[in-house]
Structure 1
């Protein structure tokens, strides 16, 4: 079984299309939230994700903020501007889809959240000490998270050699209780501008991170045309 695991699209249709093409034929699609925010294509991205077969999707903090469920004052100024812009152009079908998304999903021995198993919408897991505290909040063997925009593997009781941020893209056999992050489709923040995603085989418990290039200039042009903060366009070119 091949599952495309992806997160943090952030209204970047060009990156999303590149990921879907690079993934090829898969049996299911698992999305870890933040379909909107920052980028110029919220309705288009939601429409594409909504129509994927065998989709499992959870709600992210930008999705929640766009629905008015999270206070925009908790975001930085430019992120808040993008949320306001997204609220203005989001169509009824897109709103309905975001409203339908739960904060947490469970598939057999796998938990899916956006932020963390403790606080599915908002928590960040950025380091091993934080990750270690999170293992008590899920009872499955694997927890899939997004939110940080950085691919990572966190293994329980792995103090001597925690993996943390992942910079190699080999297939990894998941043998212990583990938190996995596929990175970001639409706004990577690990200084690699290529869209990040993972192919997961739950039956073989095999995780493979992947990257794919996309036309960043094209997205930057749409950001400029939309009037969104230019910083959101600049960061795409260097992945920060």
Structure 2
């Protein structure tokens, strides 16, 4: 079974389309949250994921649109887009966002947006936070998003207090056969690692491998649509730099 793993689309339709075209054939799509926010195409992106995803989670921006997280907790530019997004969504798509869970279990994997112990909001940005979240997770392998940075954390032997940070090597399968893992595919719609290309991953359940992937997309197309809609300039410019 070949699983396409996506996170943090953030209403960036050209990036999503580039990923879907690049991924080839797959048997299931797992989405780790944040369909909306930052980007100009929330309706079409929600439609696509609703039609394609076997598993889809809510992220903090999805909950922000719904009012489950107060908008004051977001910075000013993010808040502007969330308020704009609220006025774009028809009732059917609003209802779809409301149904998305903050976490799920699939094929023995734990799936979250933020972290196993705080699925919506906590960022796993360092080994200490990763280590604590292994303790909060019963599954051997967990998938998360939220940080917009592709990364893997690995405990080779659960009986040893040793954690490895595994930087992504793109297009080379990473074996998950041994030990415990926390894996982040990076962001489809707004990478923040200095690389503007859309990020995603392929999980092969037969070989138990994870492959980090990157694909370029027409960034200017997204930027031009944002300009026409009057989006904050900072959000437009950052897409070109992957920040």
Give the TM-score category using the shorter length.
over 0.9
Hey, what does 2:165 align to over in structure 1?
163
Which residue of structure 2 aligns with residue 217 of structure 1? 220
Cα deviation for residue 132 of structure 1 reads 0.5
Query: Which residue is equivalent to 1:126?
Result: 125
CA contact (8 A) 1:150 1:165 kept: no
The corresponding residue for 2:14 is 14
Q: How far apart are 1:203 and its partner, in Å?
A: 2.8
Instruction: State the Cα distance separating 1:230 from its structure 2 match.
Output: 1.5
Once the two structures are overlaid, the 10-residue window that deviates more, 33-42 or 89-98, is 89-98
CA pair 118-172 structure 1, distance change in 2 beyond 3 A: same
**Residue 178 of structure 1 aligns with which residue?**
181
* Residue of structure 1 in register with 2:73 after alignment: 74
1:72-111, aligned counterparts within 5 Å? 72-111=71-110
Equivalent residue of 1:163, what SS? strand
SS of equivalent residue, structure 2 residue 239 = helix
Aligned residue pairs total: 239
Is the 1:195–1:212 contact (alpha carbons within 8 Å) kept by the matching residues of 2? Answer: yes
In structure 1, stretches of 5+ residues that fail to align are: none
How far apart are residue 108 of structure 1 and its match?
Answer: 3.0
| Residues 63 and 98, structure 1, Cα contact 8 Å, conserved in 2 | yes
Q: Judging changes above 3 Å, is the alpha-carbon distance between structure 1 residues 168 and 26 closer, same or farther for their aligned structure 2 residues?
A: closer
Distance 1:234 1:118, change over 3 A: same
Once the 2 structures are TM-superposed, how far is the Cα of residue 85 of structure 1 from its aligned partner? Answer: 0.6
The worse-fitting range, judged by mean Cα deviation, of 148-157 and 24-33 is 148-157
**TM-score w.r.t. length of structure 1:** 0.96
Runs of 4+ in 1 over 3 A off after TM superposition: 157-161
